Structure 1
Amino acid sequence: MSARWLDDELADADTRPAPKGKTKTKRPLGRRKLATLTTADEGGTDEIILRLLDLGHITEVVAELKSGKEATAYVARGPRGSVLVKLYRELEARSFKNDAIYREGQVVLDARANRAMGGRSRKGLGMLQSGWVNAEYAHLWTLWKAGLSVPEPLVGPAPFDYAATTPAVLMRLIGTEDEIAPRLSDASLSPDEAWSAWEQSLDGLAGMLRLGYVHGDYSTYNLLWWENTVTIIDFPQLTTKQNPHFQDLLRRDVQSLVTSFRRHGIQADPDTVLRDVQRRVTGPAPAPRVLLP
């Protein structure tokens, strides 16, 4: 199956209107304005932020960082320092909704849940939303514990703990409140820095492949640059070898990385890079991190 087919599939967002009913339906919750998260003495008016405050994960939200097609990222403070809060929109309010290509190969044992998600009913959309968010936490923990350069997840590792924060994902902020780590796509690099970033990016792709993962959206837009170190971000669409499109997604990741690095003066052949990444998989793995009690 061709990578072009995959691109067409991903571009085919589900834009069908919700069925009309006799009762007024709740408007899907999209991007939250910073003012709604930070006003009022009791800590804000947004119920998700209030829950994070009550759980003790954050103490305040200080700034909006970036708004993307699925979520908005905010800078917050917490008991362990600066926090990045990635707050997902409800699925109906997201511009990217067709995640089926990434979910292929997953087994859902509950037949009713499987039908609800496949039919995109309100209950099914809620399940998809929770699964999307919880998957990012689970992937973050797996990659972080394996020693890969990813943000440290700040809730978990037990699913019971991080499920309580849905639809938010909390991770350690890369950079500082005054100077947030830029994406590699926005960073200004010297030739030596560009080459170092390229090598680290290939090692990161190989590190995920070693664990049986492919990122699914791997480019300089999902890589941060801070203190001469590349940090990989954005993992909800990460998929495993059980996905029948695994190899196509891997090739597309390589192509995206090659294309996006051209602005930094790196010229590479995708087929050669793919072989290089596969060779690196057999090399030494990073030292795993140990969770402190």
Structure 2
Amino acid sequence: MPLSADEIKELHKYEYRILNSLEWLMKKYLWVPEDVLRKSTKLSESEMKYRLGRLMEMDMVKSSTKPYTGYQLVFKGYDALAISSLVTKGTLNALGSLIGVGKESEVYEALGLGVLVIKIHRVGQRSFQSVRLNRSYIPEWKHFPWLFASMESAKMEFTALSTLQKGGVSVPVPIAINRNVIAMSFIPGLNLNQVTLEEPQEIFDEVVENLAKAYRLGYIHSDLSEFNIMVDGEKVWLIDWPQWIEPSHPNADTILRRDINNLVNYFSKKYGLAKTTDEVINLVIG
């Protein structure tokens, strides 16, 4: 279910204490033992059980009885900690509606000093082992919950957006990050696959120019397609950067070619543009 602003507002300070304790203890335990959690929260047995019951009803915590009674923080609880921290710091005033769902993220409208976008990273929920093998930011720990993989994914994207935006690449402006959540500027546009362009050659050239700027700054998108290019009637925006790699990456040539091939094939099939992948790669790498 989508994240509920009302549920976050209604969380009691003891429930936040439990969520924070679980977050910290899950760096050590797959399932946090009940006695360890109680010692960490300093709550009475009855109080802790009542608060855990509420958190489990809201799908923020789950429990197990094998091989012992233990608890895990799950995505909704982790999201709640991040959103609450952004509210406390003044970045957010209100959480709006869900406007996008990807393979590894959810995107919400929000209010801060103006209209914002909140992107919640949720890496590896269905295929964590594949993520562990294919993402360079996953450390070689024996125990690395997907919650923390999502935090690292958000850090990767925030780093990219910060550098690219300062370097003149047309990307959303990153505003703040907490755990697995990024607050960024709202783009009043549509994904490329949702529109029919009047001047496809101009848009194509603008995308290539932005990819070239990103390459010079040390960034290859690594997941480029018509689904993460946006147009707002005036300019192009490149979104979704958590999987970026450097041009020095061992597989950089292959991954860049895949990105460019996706772009060329889309514009060729839909608009009849005749650029080849090799021509565009030469433009991007200079």
Q: TM-score, normalised by structure 1?
A: 0.68
Q: Please point out which of 110, 119, 122 is paired with 1:89.
A: 122
Match of 1:149 in 2: 170
1:73-88 equivalences under 5 Å are 73-79=107-113, 81-88=114-121
Match of 1:29 in 2: 75
Which structure has the higher relative contact order (CA within 8 Å, separation 6+)? Answer: 1
> How far has the Cα of 1:55 moved from its partner?
1.6
Q: Does 1:266 align with 2:273?
A: yes
> How far has the Cα of 1:172 moved from its partner?
0.3
Q: Does 1:140 align with 2:161?
A: yes
Match of 1:169 in 2: 182
Q: 1:145 to 1:242 in 2, by over 3 A?
A: same
Bigger share in helix: 2
| CA–CA distance in structure 2, aligned partners of residues 143 and 54 of structure 1 | 28
| CA–CA distance in structure 1, aligned partners of residues 165 and 182 of structure 2 | 15
1:1-293 equivalences under 5 Å are 21-23=66-68, 24-26=70-72, 28-29=74-75, 46-79=80-113, 81-89=114-122, 91-93=124-126, 97-98=130-131, 100-103=133-136, 114-116=139-141, 119=142, 121-122=143-144, 125-155=146-176, 162=177, 165-175=178-188, 181-190=189-198, 192=199, 194-261=200-267, 262-279=269-286
> How far has the Cα of 1:277 moved from its partner?
2.3
Structure 1 segments of 4+ aligned residues over 4 angstroms from their partners = 18-21, 93-97
**Which amino acid letter does the alignment assign opposite residue 168 of structure 2?**
G
Larger radius of gyration between Structure 1 and Structure 2: 2
Aligned sequence identity (%): 24
8 Å contact 1:70–1:94 — kept in the other structure? no
Aligned residues: 222
SS of alignment partner, residue 57 of structure 1: coil
| CA–CA distance in structure 1, aligned partners of residues 259 and 129 of structure 2 | 18
**Which amino acid letter does the alignment assign opposite residue 184 of structure 1?**
L
> How far has the Cα of 1:238 moved from its partner?
0.6
200-209 or 241-250, which moves further after superposition? Answer: 241-250
* Structure 2 unaligned spans of 5+: 1-29, 32-63
